Structure 1
């Protein structure tokens, strides 16, 4: 009897442990799904694929303050990449930029007129300490005037596919604060506007198209005219500094922002292993809060998601990976994925992903065949990743899913002219026979 009671007691303990573990896991998942971010809007994006991992009112258009400078950075780096200017190109400070620089209300660092500054020096001032005068000097260098540069900003925003945006100056200040210096062609009372989604997409393009931007956004300290430039990003790896409490592993950018209209905002990015995420918080109520809320987003992104290969290169859907071939020595050809499909997914959700095929109709004849000759590895379409779970935030670039090429597994040679001729003759008599049969069937029907 004692042995029986002992066994029952053990079973009860094991059952209680299992229930407790399940409950704790459920609470963890529930807590993650109800992420409480104290910001007007927010978003997390996988920087490798553009997949959105979380969003909160990310389509709201709000003043982005100095996060505007990400677009200025993009256009400067593009001009360097295209050879229009170089890091060593020099320019001088115009009257408008000098006025900004001398104004303590705009956090001016006091630039000097009649002095040559390199693009590198000005870019550091813009990227590290978010200086407005160096930003305007770069805009004027590239476009001749800030008004013309603003046109470039809006054109590039459209080209990059930003869904919600309006650029009225290069710095992120309010035009009303610029007085008579507001850029020509813009509303003197207007503000720049971006949604968190658009800010994240801009950051996505910036770090992927011009990763050298991260070298500057992660620089802790530099100097200009003998004055220190101290980075405004408290999440960088500071040591012996009051900011160490805000440090977060892997953070190397990207752009802070603050005005009275915008509140405190921040576009952040961090890399851990092969994973990089981009986060945006807009309209928080303090310097510290924008970093604390960003830390919440980053911890959620890195703890709840893992990079996983869902489908290997050479993957084929059963019974769907064959196309008929015309005028070839073989009647069909197989195809497969050219590359593996890899993305950040929540732990335990691998089975919620599938792929579908999208065959390139322009590759097919009217009869739906591929016409020989066909090369091995020839692209015939794309495989599109699909998520079949409850909440799908989609992709920052508007894509319906990640795509990889579908390519043929082998070559198919074209039949020689003699065999093609025989085939054509055979088709002719086959059609004649079919027509005759149909005629007599019609007589007796």
Structure 2
């Protein structure tokens, strides 16, 4: 019997061990959110996929790690050039005189360049196209000197803008994205020979997102596959866009129209891409790919994942109210309440079949809202009175490029004038008697309990 009990005991113990092992294996697998990067197996140091409409992050791999960004830096140069044009500081037709520094760098055939004449004059537009299409480094320096007075001053503008845009852990040391040792000892004052521009894939994506949102016309230039620099001039140069995913080029991808490549020994092969199909645009960033070609093949993986697995979903249409938050009380207004509606469509890319996991809620805020959450009269139609915030109930949701939850402007759908003293007086009297009547009814009712 003792031996039998021992055998039975061992069998029970074995079963318990098997069950315990099964539980430890199965439960974590069920609880662990499925990582998109495990599905895509992106061959790069870092990568990210973003919905260009809402800034929603759809995939990321090591996206917060600061890494060298090489010539993707020129997107910030593009941003500042467009900003200077918009603000009237420069115009596209302004002439830029080439300095000794810009000239020497432009003559380096080991770098991407269009040769510039010392003291020669080129329009802002010509230099901008050379930088955006052909990643011309000398042209980029000439633009930086035009806007900042010196590359050092321009680099300060780059870092200031990065901070304003919230690009995270960023370090700009030059306008081009080259390693400083390639600047022939002329690198900006205060930087070392080993310095280079640093940013995360998340930061690069955010820069691209803001660039396209603020200056969508940049895509008109970035989408040009081939162009001749100074066509008809003394030294014309054929420029083939380094973005080989543009239509007609080696790795052409449907809808691709930007944005910027980059490569150095330390950065590896990098690419910020953007493509639009059927009204949906995505932004991708690949950093530290293994080869010139692989940055494009990995980008194609990201784009395919976006276009195949996500759909454009409008949670609240422009001019519509949010479910459960149709009106807000107006204090001292001719109308006692007013509808609050979406200023624009609340639209984002959501994985197919998962729209039910997303909810739009209202958050009232601003100078038109009092401490009790009421709207203060008078107020004009279209005045912002808060935000519509979009949240996902799923733990594995990756959030948005700017915040964990995206917000959209909430506005009033009509003007409400302030009520005159007579109306307010009658309302006060009515409220007094209404409260008095409620008290009497309540008191009488209490007698019969």
Number of equivalent positions: 401
Note the C-alpha offset of 1:145. Answer: 0.9
List alignment gaps of at least 5 residues for structure 2: 1-33, 230-234, 439-449
TM-score, normalised to structure 1's length?
0.82
TM superposition shift of 1:432: 11
Q: For each residue in 1:116-171, what CA deviation from the matched residue of structure 2 results, as whole angstroms up to 9, or x when unmatched?
A: 21112211211111111111111111111111110111011111111121000001
Corresponding residue number in structure 2 for 1:268? 273
| Residues 378 and 256 of structure 1, relative CA distance in 2, 3 Å threshold | closer
Between the aligned partners of 2:264 and 2:341, the Cα distance in structure 1 is 52
CA distance in 2, matches of 1:228, 1:167: 30
1:93 deviation in Å?
Answer: 1.7
Q: C-alpha distance in 1, partners of 2:55/2:188?
A: 33
Normalising to structure 2: TM-score of the pair?
A: 0.81
Of residues 311, 315, 318 in structure 1, which corresponds to 2:316? 311
* Distance in 2 separating the partners of 1:280 and 1:366: 44
| Partner in structure 1 of residue 422 of structure 2 | 418
Q: Does 1:236 align with 2:246?
A: yes
Contact 1:43 1:58 in 2 (8 A): yes
Task: Report the Cα offset of residue 111 of structure 1.
Answer: 2.0
Deviation at 1:412, TM superposition (A): 5.3
Partner of 2:166: 161
Instruction: Give the C-alpha shift of residue 433 in structure 1.
Output: 12
Does the alignment pair 1:86 with 2:91?
A: yes
Kept after mapping to 2: 8 A contact 1:179/1:188: no
C-alpha spacing 1:357/1:175, structure 2 compared with 1 (3 Å):
same
1:246-296 residue CA offsets vs partner (Å, 9 max, x unmatched): 110011111110100101000111111211111000001110000000010
The aligned runs of 1:174-323 (5 Å cut-off) are: 174-224=179-229, 225-238=235-248, 243=250, 246-317=251-322, 319-323=324-328
1:391 shift after superposition: 1.7
The answer to which of 153-162 and 174-183 deviates more is 174-183
C-alpha distance in structure 2 between counterparts of 1:64 and 1:360, whole Å? 38
Deviations 1:8-31 (A, max 9, x none): xxxxxxxxxxxxxxxxxxxxx998
Q: Assess, with a 3 A threshold, how the Cα gap between structure 1 residues 391 and 367 changes in structure 2: closer, same or farther.
A: closer
Where in structure 1 are there 5+ consecutive unaligned residues? Answer: 1-28, 435-445
Q: Secondary structure at the match of 2:293?
A: helix
Aligned-residue CA RMSD in angstroms? 2.8
- Cα distance change of structure 1 residues 385 and 90 upon mapping to structure 2, 3 Å threshold: same
CA distance in 1, matches of 2:204, 2:430: 63
C-alpha contact (below 8 Å) 2:73/2:175 kept by paired residues: yes
Q: Does the 8 Å CA contact 1:63/1:193 hold for their aligned counterparts?
A: yes
Question: Is the Cα–Cα contact under 8 Å of residues 91 and 124 in structure 2 kept in the other structure?
Answer: yes
